[in-house]
Structure 1
Amino acid sequence: MRWIPIFMLVFILFLPTPVIADDITITYDQVLIGDNHIFWYGQGELISEAGNDFFFDYGESEILTTSSSAKAVGLDDSKIHFSSSNDVFEANFLSSMPETFGTGIFKVYTIKVELPEVNEEKKVQIKIEDAGKIIVSNVDIISSKTDGQYLILNFETKNRDMEITYITKPTFKLFSILLATALFSLLFLILILIRRIDILEGIKMNVNDFKKAAIFESRMNKDNYELSLDLFKLKLYNLLEISGNRFYLRIPFWLFYCFIFIVLLCSFFRSMTYPVEDIWNMLNRGRIVIFFFVSVLALLSLILIASIRTDRDASIVFGLIGGCLVGIILSHFGSIAVILSLTTALLIYFLSMAALNKNLAEV
C-alpha cells in the first residue's frame, strides 16, 4: 500500500488551483431628459479578495466609495496602494456614459470602459436597461439573459479595455420589422419575375376593363384639352341589372383589385406597427420608412393576386401573404418568426387545397 501516499501527492499537485479574480458589475440605466431617453453613467461595483499590500487601479473610473479594513498608504497616477491583512476589498465607481451614433430611434450605442482592477483576472457582469441586441464586442460573452428591463451579459477577461456596441429594444424591433419586410418584398419580386407572362396578361385585362368602366374621358384638341364625364356610366347602369326575378351586381376587376389593395395596405400596416405601437410617437422618420415599405409590399402582393389563374395559384399566393403577415409581426423573435411564418404559409396552402378537393369531390 506504499503507492497510496504517492498517488495522493500526485493528485494534490494536479488539482486545479483557484484563481483569484475581481468580481465587477456595471449597470447602465436610462434617464429621461426632455422627450429623449439617454443612458447615464455606468454604476459599477468591484469586489476582490485582496492580499497584503495590493494596488487598486481605478483607471478612468470615478471612485465613489471603498469598503475594507485596508489602509491607503500611497497614490501613483490611477493606482492606490493599500495595506491589508487578507480582507475583502469593495469599491463603488462610475464609468463613462455610452457613446451615441445616429439620430431619433435609429441610434447605436457603444460602451467603452477601462475596467478597474485589483487582480488581472476579472469576472464581469454588464447590465443594460432596454438593450435589445449586441452588435459587436471585443470580449467573449459567456452568457446573456433578459431580466425585466435589463439585458445581462457575463464574461471573463484579463483585458482592461472593454468595448460593447448595442441597439435598444425599440430600435431592434423596428430594424427586425424592416428587414423582414425587405426580405418578403424581395421574395414577392422574384415570384413576380417568374410569373411575369401571366401577370402581364392579367394587367392588360384589368386595364381594358378599367377603360370600359371609366367615367372620365379626355382628348387633346387643336387649341384645348377636353375632359368629359360619362353620365351613363356614372349611374353604374352597366354594373347593376335586374332581369326577371334576379338582381345582378357586376363588380369590375379594377374595382375589385382596388378593394384588395386597400385591405392589403391596412393588413400590412397593422402587422408592421403592432410590435412598435408602444413607441409609435418616438419613431418620427421611422414612420415614413414604414409607410414606404407597407406600400411596396401591398403593391407586390396585389400584382401576385392579379396573376392568379388556378385554385392552386390562389392557395400559394394567399399562403405566402399569410406567412408574410405572421413573419413581420413576430420578426423580433428571430428564428421563431421564420418557423411560424413558414408554418402559417404551409397551413394556409394545405387547408385551402384540402377544402377545394373536398368541394370537387362533392360535386
Structure 2
Amino acid sequence: MMARIVLNETSYHGAGSIREIAGEAQRRGFKKAFVCSDPDLVKFGVAQKVLDVLDGAKLKYELYSDIKPNPTIENVQTGVAACKKSGADYIIAIGGGSSMDTAKAIGIIMTNPEYADVRSLEGVAPTKNPCMPIIAVPTTAGTAAEVTINYVITDAQKRRKFVCVDVHDIPVVAVIDSDMMSTMPKGLTAATGMDALTHAIEGYITKGAWAMTDMFHLKAIEIISKSLRGAVNNEKDGREGMALGQYIAGMGFSNVGLGIVHSMAHALGAVYDTPHGVANAILLPTVMAYNAEATGEKYRDIAKAMGVEGTEKMSQAEYRKAACAAVAELSKDVGIPQNLKGIVKEADIDFLAQSAMDDACRPGNPKDPTKEDIIALYKSLL
C-alpha cells in the first residue's frame, strides 16, 4: 500500500505566535500581502492584530474582505481581480474556513489562470503550479483549513457546494495562535469544535485511513473531547487545547478524506446557509450509528479516547453505542441543536440527498450509502 502525507512547510503554535508572521515574510522575500479576512473579523478588530504586526515591520499589504460565511464563486472571482490589481506576491488568510477557502481558491487561480471559472477546480484538480504563497492564521478552532489540501466553494446558482482537493493549495506557513481565537462567541466555538471532532472521527473511520493518520485522529479526538467544554466557557486551557486538537485532526483527514457527515452537511450549507460546524454536529451521532457495522473495533478506540470507562470489557454493540452516545453528549453539552427541525424542508430532501451523493467526500465513507439511505438519515433527524 502506498500512502502520502502533505503538511505545511512550517507551522507555529502557541499564544502570541502571530509575531512570527513578519519574520517569515521577510525571510521568504515577500514584498506585499493580499490579506483575506471576513467583514466581522475586520469590524471587531481581530484581523487588526495581524495588520499591527505587518505595520510594525513596515510590510506592505492590501485588505480584502468580500467574503461570505459559505464563500461563493463570485467571492473568489472578485478576490482574484482585487489580488491582481493589488500587485501582491503572497496572501495572508485570517479567519475560519471561509477566509482560508477563499484565499486558497484565489491563490490557485492566480498561478493557474486556466481555472478562472472556479467550477473547473471541483474534485481533484490537475493544476500545474503551486498557488500564490499563503500564510494562514486561523481564528476558529475547527476547520483546520490552514493545514489541509481541501477547500469548499458554494455554487449559488446551482444551490450546491463543491469540494476542491489540490496539493498545490496548502499554505506554506500556518500560525496557530490561541489568542486569535479568544474572542469567538460560545456558539461559534461549539460549532467549529464539533466540526473538528467530526474531522477526527470521520478521518479515523474513512476507507483511506492508515496507521499514521489513525495516530493523528485518535489524539485529536482525545484532545478535543477534553478541551471543547472548557473552550466554550472561554477557559485558557480549553482554547489552547482546541487550537492544537483541530490542527492535528487536519493533519490526518486532509490526507485520507472524510465521509457522508460532510457530504450531507455541505448540502445543508448550500441550500440553507447552515453553519458547517452546526450541520456536522447534528448529523454526526446519527451517521456514526449508520456506519457502525463497517468500522470493526474502531468505535472502541473512539469511546476510549472520549473518556468512556470500561471499554475493554464492553461487547461490540456496547462500545459502538457508547461512542455514539459520547459524541451526542458532548454536542448537547456545548449547546448544539439535536435535530434538523426548523432547518430542513421535507420537500428539499430528495435534492439534498442527491447533492450528498454527488459530493467528493461521499466515496470515503466506510459504508457505501444509497440515495435512499441518505434520505432516511435526513428524515430521521426531522
Q: TM-score, normalised by structure 2?
A: 0.24
Question: Which one scores higher on RCO, CA 8 angstroms, separation ≥ 6?
Answer: 2
Q: Which has the larger radius of gyration?
A: 1
Give the strand-richer structure, 1 or 2: 1
In terms of fraction of residues, the more helix-rich structure is 2
TM-score for the superposition, normalised by structure 1: 0.25
